[in-house]
């Protein structure tokens, strides 16, 4: 049995950020789960539905047992708790979350080894440039381009440089477009 603690805010963020990418229609049952992978107190969580892959990293404090572990878990609503962190107990077939007033146990998904290898789908060509956007402005532009046939249409994004605006349009109507201005990125270490 492995015991670890995760911040309540991190667990809530993982569930809310990854839930949209959990497959609802994929014929591979393994994609109905979030994959959790822990190494050196770093918890990586992934979800994919065949068209998108979402990834979140959070810190965990492994208090007992294996320092490296991997499991599949269906997304769930994190109950309200006053605790800053959530103690977790992971066994071979289930995981128990201690939310203070209540403990909830979930059955783990089978087939973690058949979940896609995230490293294999990451781009391997050199990065050409990096561009930053206000996420709300980008989301608003994309949402406003949705049509009745949004499942048949594609959203096209054209990038011209790291400090140039991006152009978004529907693949069926290039004259109906949105321009989103980039934001300057702080230099990374």
Whether residue 151 is predicted with pLDDT greater than 80 in this model: the reply is: no
% of the chain at pLDDT higher than 90: 69
Residue at token pair 């572990």: 69
- For residues 149 and 176, the model is more confident at 176
So what's the pLDDT on residue 145? 84
pTM over 0.75: yes
For 159-169, what is each residue's pLDDT tens digit? 998 889 999 99
What domains sit in the chain, N to C, each tagged with a CATH number?
2-121 (3.10.150.10), 123-189 (no CATH)
Burial class (CB in 10 A: 0-12, 13-18, 19+), 152: exposed
Q: pLDDT higher for 82 or 153? A: 82
Tens of pLDDT, residues 168-185: 998 888 888 999 999 988
- Amino acid 147: pLDDT: 67
Give the residue with greater pLDDT, 149 vs 34: 34
Is the pLDDT at 189 greater than 80? The verdict is no
Say whether pLDDT at 83 is over 80: yes
Read off φ and ψ for residue 40, nearest 5 degrees. 50, 45
Would you say residue 155 has pLDDT above 70? yes
| 48-69 residue pLDDT tens | 988 889 999 999 999 999 999 9
User: Per-residue pLDDT averaged across 71-91, rounded?
Assistant: 96
State the average pLDDT for the chain. 91
- Band of pLDDT at residue 188, cut at 50, 70 and 90: low
Contacts of 111 (CB under 8 A, 6+ apart): 29, 30, 72
Q: What are the angstrom distances between the C-alpha of 98 and each of 25, 64, 66, 109, 152?
A: 31, 15, 19, 20, 44
């Amino acid at each position: 049995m492995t015991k670890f603690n995760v911040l309540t805010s991190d667990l809530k963020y993982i569930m809310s950020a990854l839930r949209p990418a959990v497959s609802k229609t994929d014929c591979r049952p393994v994609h109905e789960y979030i994959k959790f992978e822990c190494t050196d107190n770093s918890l990586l969580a992934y979800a994919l539905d065949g068209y998108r892959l979402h990834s979140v990293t959070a810190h965990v404090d492994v208090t007992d047992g294996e320092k490296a572990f991997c499991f599949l878990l269906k997304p769930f609503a994190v109950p309200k708790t006053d605790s800053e962190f959530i103690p977790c107990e992971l066994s071979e077939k289930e995981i128990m979350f201690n939310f203070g007033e209540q403990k909830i146990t979930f059955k783990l998904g089978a087939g973690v080894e058949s979940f896609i290898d995230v490293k294999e789908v990451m781009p391997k060509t050199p990065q050409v440039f990096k561009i930053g956007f206000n996420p709300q402005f980008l989301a608003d532009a994309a949402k406003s381009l949705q049509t009745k046939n949004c499942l048949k249409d594609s959203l096209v994004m054209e990038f011209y440089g790291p400090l140039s605006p991006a152009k978004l349009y529907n693949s069926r109507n290039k004259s109906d477009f949105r321009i989103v201005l980039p934001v300057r990125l702080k230099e990374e270490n």
